[in-house]
Amino acid sequence: MKKILIVAGLLCFGIAVSQNVENVQVKTPVKSVTLYLDGAEVAQAKQVNLNAGRTLITFTGLSPKLISKSIQVNVAPDVTVLSVSDKINFLSESKETPRLKQIKDSIEMLSDANMQLQWQIDAFNGEKAMLAKNESIGGNDKGVNPADLKLALDLYRTRLKEIHTELFALVKKRDKTNLVIAKLNRQMSENGETELPTAEISILVNANAKTSTNVDLRYVVKESGWSPSYDLISEDVNKPIELKYRAKVYNNSGIDWNDVKIKLSTSDPMQSASKPEMQPWFLNFSNPIVYNTNSNPYGNYGNDNRNSDNYQQQQAVSQTKSLYENELSAVTIKGKKDEQKKQNPSIQYEEVQVSELSAEFDIKQAYSIPADAKPYIVDVITYNLNATFQYYSVPKIEKEAFMLARITGWEELDLVEGPANVYLAGTFVGQSYINTRSVDDTLNLSFGRDKKIMVTRTKLKDFNKETTSGTSRKVTYSYEMIVKNNHKGPIQIELADQLPVSQSSEIIVDAIETSKAEVNALTGQMKWKISLAPDESKKIILTYSVKYPKNKSLNLYKSKAKYRAKF
């Protein structure tokens, strides 16, 4: 009994205190949003009239995905903030869009129709069960008149047939309705049109006198952010490159952002208030990156279901890897923890590297971003970049030349690594990748294949031979590479090939003719830097031999994996 009295006393005290606090409810739209790579800071504000004493100001209709510890409140100097708290209001849901209401009404109507269909199905099944229980005719002691038996059987057969016909039609109609309901549910989920509870933030303030204050409220929400997207446009090799910096912005906070001011940032929205601590900075050589050179059966920029996004990025990077292997690295696709995947499986994440010095972009135009988790394009800024163009070819792998643009001074552009759509002379040539992990002052971008440069690599049969002497076998290979410039102006091109590298003292590789190539003895990589005038062609000869014991097997042919149909 004593405990009950104490609780009752506390309740009375709480009611008495609450009666001395004035309550003000505020519902105001989002004013501005600072989007981070993972997360967004939402800003809202409202002018509130206060009487002397304490007032509980409650902002309603907020995102249910706000992070409590990120809440910041700013009021006038003559007003004191006593406490800040937040909660989820499950009785108050975010406002339905007309589209969501239409889908929900359709689902409700079809569900009601399905319930009535099920009732009819149950009724017919019950009648069928009754017929099955009353199969006995006449009793056990006497037989059944043949005429009565025939009449009963005809009645049983006719009614059972009618029941099965009705059940077939009803079940078929029910299944079709269930299919439509499932499609509507998927459509509602695809558009992010689901009912969510809303959050509330309560701010207890104290004013010494009657006043008016502007309450600025900021908080961070999850499942929102941005990722970079670029357009690289080159009209001619003698003109600057136009780089259009864009952002793909998504909002899955549960609250639409209508006509808001947007800022993009690469900083951490949940950065600690503690002073920063520097960790040791170790330098070491990177491990060699193995690139997949398998041909995509749907084309270099096709939609390969094996992993098209990764494949396109690897292809774009590998085009320049041999020439600039210290400047490029692969993109590691990394999913976030399983909990986040379950919350929103439609959003995929990747790990990228950004500068320690955060960058921010103020977007001049206001945008509306619905809370449907879909990416919306936001224009950030456009740069005109001076670049030097160079061509590169590995005829052993592909008998085509790739155009590379080398851009200096890119560090000042605040770029974040990401995919880039490449346009050359008004034609879309594919997707490349802007990689900012280089420590060099030159950013190398691939502009795809150039059909005006002809590259061939043929085996010289007269110089290819195999000889045996004693216990050794010697195989000689000879290739002729020809490069022709069909452009109207001069070009610079780097040609690459390779020698096999021996990993045994019994295998001897001898470079007989290299046409003055630069040779890396460790990797066997060879390159020729060639200048070509218009319509000029040059020839490169590569001849080498491999000597090894004839009683041992040696695979002298490099192959690559490809896909084909299997019958």
**Does residue 347 have a pLDDT over 60?**
yes
Instruction: Determine the pLDDT at residue 345.
Output: 46
Instruction: Determine the pLDDT at residue 361.
Output: 87
**Does residue 74 have a pLDDT over 90?**
yes
Instruction: Determine the pLDDT at residue 300.
Output: 35
Specify whether the CB–CB gap between 24 and 203 falls below 8 A.
no
Instruction: Determine the pLDDT at residue 270.
Output: 74
pLDDT tens-digit series, residues 434-470 = 877 665 677 778 888 888 899 999 999 888 888 998 8
> Which CATH class name applies to 454-549?
mainly beta
Output phi, psi for 20, to 5 deg: -90, 0
The residue count of the chain comes to 567
Of residues 78 and 131, more confidently modeled = 78
Specify whether the CB–CB gap between 387 and 424 falls below 8 A.
no
Work out the percent of the chain whose per-residue pLDDT is above 70.
76
Instruction: Determine the pLDDT at residue 26.
Output: 92
From 156-165, 258-267, 472-481, the region with the lowest mean pLDDT: 156-165
Domain assignments of the chain as residue spans, ordered by start: 16-94+196-221, 98-138+145-189, 224-270+283-385+413-439, 454-549
Max CA pair span of the chain: 116
Taking the model in full, what pTM does it have? 0.61
**Does residue 132 have a pLDDT over 80?**
no
Tell me the average pLDDT across 212-225. 94
**Does residue 357 have a pLDDT over 80?**
no
Question: Which residues are within 8 A (CB) of 454 and not within 5 positions of it... i.e. 6 or more apart?
Answer: 482, 483, 484, 486, 537
Of residues 316 and 181, more confidently modeled = 181
Q: Where are the beta strands (DSSP E) in 94-192?
A: none
Give whole-number Cα distances, 418 to 73, 209, 214, 408, in Å.
35, 55, 40, 18
Report CA Rg, the chain: 37
**Does residue 276 have a pLDDT over 70?**
no
**Does residue 236 have a pLDDT over 60?**
yes
Helical pair 98-133 and 146-190, crossing angle rounded to 10 deg: 160
Instruction: Determine the pLDDT at residue 342.
Output: 39
**Does residue 225 have a pLDDT over 80?**
yes
Q: Hunting for tokens 């163009």 — which residue is that?
A: 389
Element (H, E) at 386: none
